[in-house]
């Protein structure tokens, strides 16, 4: 897969989850086999009770009747079909947020509510057998929940069941979180319950950043609120128990975001919940929290719980296809992020502190959302504005990465301005996390944003050379006319000294901003455009971060190669004959390095546009304009 050349086009790739080294947890004390049901012993007609919370922290009971067992709904997995009743489920149906609600039959744990029949009039649930939750959590089984990865499985029932006055002989079980489009032939269609992701202090714009990434998964971000201050202390400090709300945080601090489900079972300090994946990331390190349920939002399809996290009680360290599992009394390893915003030159800066979960493939979007939200906490951007962003990313074992640049233009106007402003930082973080060379651990991220009124941009209107025929050793001089936004035109000179040994020929002058120049530099250095080691990866990123949008650049590419990169090792400044020999050899992974002459000058504006000119170099003849 080829890395992109620009920060605004950095690709999001998948890498193994990274987290800080912590003491290994003790070997789990597995539940005794006699305390839960073997799937082969479960029969239609069995009746039992389940536990869940629909208001506050009080655990309530509901009834469950086994309708049948669905074997091999996916490799190594079975599902138990149950009809639920009580707890007002006849009106609400099975509720998103009930995921993990334990069901007991004859005093033994059957499993966790995990699937629902979205289009049925009765509360029909798919229950994940607890025996398989234990098995998969112990193995930290990894299963991606992705669109089109697994087709729905249609399972024939041993005996037809009567639902809503109709007889059904088949049950179709979805293998992902996509909204179903069942036909009459599909019978009962079960889909995994999505996890409501409740947020406190997060704006609609910051949630929009995340919805794009959660779209194909099992998370539904929505605005909520924190647990009220008047909740009694005994409720705030309530212990996690089977049937109680189980919150799993992704952002904590001055604003927060957490998924809400239900705790299924606790064995010693080992906790099981949900009955299906939250994100399917396998190994993880997420804050495990108690929760408070505010209300149930009833809907025609699937109702959902609205709740808030309360108290961190441990860590979720496994997110598998049958459950989430974790440990009590452990501390999660989170990434500290500080965002400071200065809205006016003479105003008071506001600073927000949050911690972000080190989630595989999600760290960049979470950083992007957190930075966007810190801006939204202070209200909308002005319609015409410019922003200076100074960010520092600390990474263990490496020099920090620093961005210090101005942003302005048509993209930073209107409601999407904050999203566009911080998109490059989110993509930068994600690309670093995705690198295939080394497990990187981010120590901290600090970002300061200064907002100034007015759009500090200038378009390149025209360019001209003082002379278009030169001799080696001469100076190329270009005049660039800039047209600032709502300002008077400006004429700026760029000068570039030619080498005395420059060969005769026609040369191209490229004029634009420094970020565009950095993209060309990457194109001319394939070992950076396609890094072969972590050093090249950092060199590529620093090249882009050092480029300033306010810097006007004149670039003259030189013909022929100036060096080669062999198996990731650079050999610069080689004689042309050696470059030709190495680049034409049968060596694999040999790439020619191109070179260019570059002149820069700083301006007061973010430069927009580009232009191209040409001049001729002739040793024996000089023609003046």
Nearest-angstrom CA–CA distance, 351 and 378: 10
pLDDT at 180: 62
CA 183 to chain centroid, in Å, comes to 34
CA 259 to chain centroid, in Å, comes to 15
Average pLDDT over the chain, rounded to an integer: 84
pLDDT at 297: 84
Q: Which residues contact 557 (CB under 8 A, 6 or more apart)?
A: 507, 508, 510, 520, 524, 594, 595, 596
**Which residues pair with residue 457 across a beta bridge?**
606
Residue whose structure tokens are 């232009």 = 611
CATH number (1.10.3470, 2.30.30, 2.60.40, 2.40.10) of 195-334 reads 2.40.10
SS3 track for 573-622 = CCCHHHHHHHHHCCCCCEEEECCEEEEEEECCCEEECCEEEEEEECCCCC
pLDDT at 144: 39
pLDDT at 193: 87
pLDDT at 566: 59
pLDDT tens-digit map of 362-391: 899 999 999 988 887 776 677 788 999 999
172 Ramachandran zone, left/alpha/beta (phi>0; psi -120 to 50): beta
pLDDT at 4: 36
Residue 359 has pLDDT above 70, yes or no: yes
pLDDT at 8: 34
pLDDT at 121: 79
Instruction: Identify each DSSP E strand in 320-417 by its residue range.
Output: 324-328, 334-342, 350-357, 385-395, 401-407
pLDDT tens-digit map of 82-105: 999 999 999 999 999 999 999 999
pLDDT at 226: 62
Catalogue the long-range contacts made by 463-466 (C-beta closer than 8 Å, 24 or more residues apart): 463/509, 463/511, 463/611, 463/613, 464/613, 465/509, 465/613, 465/615, 466/625
pLDDT at 471: 94
CA distances to 301, 373, 404, 458 from 410, rounded to whole Å, are 40, 21, 20, 12
What 3-state class would DSSP assign to 298?
coil
What 3-state class would DSSP assign to 47?
strand
Tell me which of 104-113, 420-429, 480-489, 589-598 is least confident: 589-598
Report the alpha-carbon angle 292-297-303, nearest 5: 105
Residue whose structure tokens are 């003082």 = 466
Per-residue tokens: 103:
């069901």
Nearest-angstrom CA–CA distance, 71 and 80: 9
Nearest-angstrom CA–CA distance, 299 and 315: 32
Give the confidence band of 20 by pLDDT, cuts at 50, 70, 90.
very low
**What average pLDDT score do residues 476-480 get?**
97
Tell me which of 20-24, 168-172, 242-246, 621-625 is least confident: 20-24
Helix (H) or strand (E) holding 249: strand 245-253
Helix pair 204-214, 417-433: axis angle to 10 deg: 40
**Residue 267: phi, psi to the nearest 5?**
-125, 105
**What average pLDDT score do residues 258-277 get?**
94
Nearest-angstrom CA–CA distance, 610 and 370: 34
3-state helix, strand, coil in the chain (%, to 5): 20, 45, 40
**What average pLDDT score do residues 45-61 get?**
95
pTM (predicted TM-score): 0.82
pLDDT tens-digit map of 596-625: 899 999 999 999 999 999 999 998 764 444
Tell me which of 200-204, 352-356, 398-402 is least confident: 200-204
Nearest-angstrom CA–CA distance, 613 and 465: 8
pLDDT at 466: 95
Alpha helices in 252-390 (DSSP H): 363-376
Q: Pick the more confident residue, 494 or 75.
A: 494
> Among residues of the chain, what percentage have pLDDT more than 90?
53
CA distances to 82, 116, 270, 467, 600 from 470, rounded to whole Å, are 86, 77, 77, 7, 20
**What average pLDDT score do residues 39-68 get?**
95
Length of the chain: 625
Nearest-angstrom CA–CA distance, 390 and 516: 20
12-16, 330-334, 434-438 — most confident range: 330-334
Give the confidence band of 189 by pLDDT, cuts at 50, 70, 90.
confident
Residue 218 has pLDDT above 80, yes or no: no
Nearest-angstrom CA–CA distance, 281 and 18: 11
Residues 24, 283 contacting (CB under 8 angstroms): no
Other Cβ atoms less than 10 A from the Cβ of 41: the count is 10
Give the confidence band of 14 by pLDDT, cuts at 50, 70, 90.
very low
pLDDT at 18: 34
pLDDT tens-digit map of 294-332: 888 877 678 888 888 899 999 999 999 899 999 999 999
pLDDT tens-digit map of 519-534: 998 888 877 777 888 9
Residues 37, 46 contacting (CB under 8 angstroms): no
Tell me which of 82-96, 117-131, 299-313, 455-469 is least confident: 299-313
**What average pLDDT score do residues 472-489 get?**
96
Residues 393, 445 contacting (CB under 8 angstroms): yes
Tell me which of 42-56, 372-386, 586-600 is least confident: 586-600
Residue 19 has pLDDT above 60, yes or no: no
Nearest Cα residue to 579 out of 566, 592, 590: 592
What are the domain boundaries of the chain? 7-16+337-453, 33-192, 195-334, 457-558+594-617
Nearest-angstrom CA–CA distance, 267 and 28: 8
163 Ramachandran zone, left/alpha/beta (phi>0; psi -120 to 50): beta
Q: Pick the more confident residue, 473 or 298.
A: 473
Residue 127 has pLDDT above 90, yes or no: yes
131-145, 296-310, 556-570 — most confident range: 296-310
Q: Does domain 33-192 have CATH number 2.40.10.10?
A: yes
pLDDT at 570: 63
Nearest-angstrom CA–CA distance, 240 and 252: 19
């Amino acid at each position: 897969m080829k890395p992109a050349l620009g920060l605004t086009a950095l690709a999001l790739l998948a890498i193994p989850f990274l987290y800080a080294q912590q003491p290994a947890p003790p070997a789990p004390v597995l539940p005794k086999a006699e305390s839960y049901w073997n799937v082969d012993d479960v029969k239609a007609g069995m009746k039992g009770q389940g536990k869940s919370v629909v208001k506050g922290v009080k655990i309530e009971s509901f009834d469950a009747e086994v309708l049948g067992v669905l074997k091999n709904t996916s490799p190594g997995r079975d599902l138990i079909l149950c009809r639920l009743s009580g707890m007002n489920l006849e009106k609400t149906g099975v509720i998103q947020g009930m995921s993990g609600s334990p069901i007991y039959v004859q005093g033994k744990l059957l499993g966790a509510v995990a699937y629902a029949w979205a289009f049925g009039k009765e509360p029909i649930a798919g229950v994940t057998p607890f025996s398989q939750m234990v098995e998969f959590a112990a193995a930290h089984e990894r299963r991606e929940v992705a669109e089109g990865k697994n087709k729905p499985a249609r399972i024939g029932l041993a005996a037809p069941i009567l639902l809503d006055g109709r007889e059904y002989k088949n049950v179709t079980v979805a293998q992902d979180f996509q909204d179903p489009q069942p036909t009459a032939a599909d019978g009962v269609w079960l889909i995994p319950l999505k996890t409501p992701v409740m947020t406190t202090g997060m704006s609609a714009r910051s949630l929009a950043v995340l919805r794009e990434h959660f779209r194909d998964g099992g998370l539904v971000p929505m605005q909520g609120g924190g647990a009220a201050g008047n909740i009694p202390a005994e409720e705030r400090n309530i212990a996690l128990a089977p049937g109680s709300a189980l919150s799993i945080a992704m952002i904590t601090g001055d604003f927060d975001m957490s998924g809400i489900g239900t705790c299924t079972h606790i064995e010693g300090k080992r906790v099981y919940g949900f009955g299906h994946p939250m994100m399917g990331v396998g190994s993880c390190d997420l804050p495990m929290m108690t929760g408070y349920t505010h209300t149930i939002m009833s809907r025609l399809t699937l109702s959902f719980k609205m709740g808030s996290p309360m108290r961190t009680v441990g860590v979720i360290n496994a997110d598998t296809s049958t459950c989430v599992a974790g440990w009590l009394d452990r501390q999660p390893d989170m990434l500290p992020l500080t965002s400071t915003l200065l809205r006016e030159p003479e105003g008071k800066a506001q600073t927000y502190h949050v911690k972000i979960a080190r989630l595989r493939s999600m760290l960049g979007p979470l950083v992007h959302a957190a930075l966007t939200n810190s801006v939204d906490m202070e209200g909308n951007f002005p319609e015409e504005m410019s922003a200076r962003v100074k960010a520092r990313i600390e990474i263990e074992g490496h020099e920090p990465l620093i961005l210090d640049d101005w942003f302005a233009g048509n993209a930073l106007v209107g409601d999407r301005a904050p999203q566009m402003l911080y998109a490059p930082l989110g993509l930068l973080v994600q690309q670093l996390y995705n690198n295939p060379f080394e497990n990187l651990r981010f120590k901290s991220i600090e970002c300061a944003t200064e907002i100034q009124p007015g759009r500090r941009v200038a378009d390149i209107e025209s360019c001209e050379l003082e002379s278009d025929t030169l001799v080696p050793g001469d100076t190329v001089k270009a005049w660039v006319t800039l047209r600032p936004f709502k300002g008077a035109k400006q004429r700026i000179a760029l000068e570039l000294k030619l080498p005395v040994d420059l060969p005769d020929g026609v040369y191209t002058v490229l004029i634009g901003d420094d970020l565009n120049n950095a993209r060309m530099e990457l194109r001319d250095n394939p070992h950076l455009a396609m890094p072969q080691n972590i050093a090249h990866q950092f060199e590529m990123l620093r090249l882009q971060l050092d480029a300033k949008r306010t810097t006007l650049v004149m670039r003259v590419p030189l013909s022929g190669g100036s060096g080669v990169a062999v198996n990731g090792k650079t050999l610069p400044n080689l004689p042309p004959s050696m470059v030709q020999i190495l680049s034409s050899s049968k060596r694999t992974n040999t790439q020619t390095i191109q070179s260019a002459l570059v002149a820069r000058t700083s301006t007061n504006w973010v430069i927009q546009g580009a232009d191209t000119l040409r001049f001729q170099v002739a040793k024996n003849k000089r023609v003046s304009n």
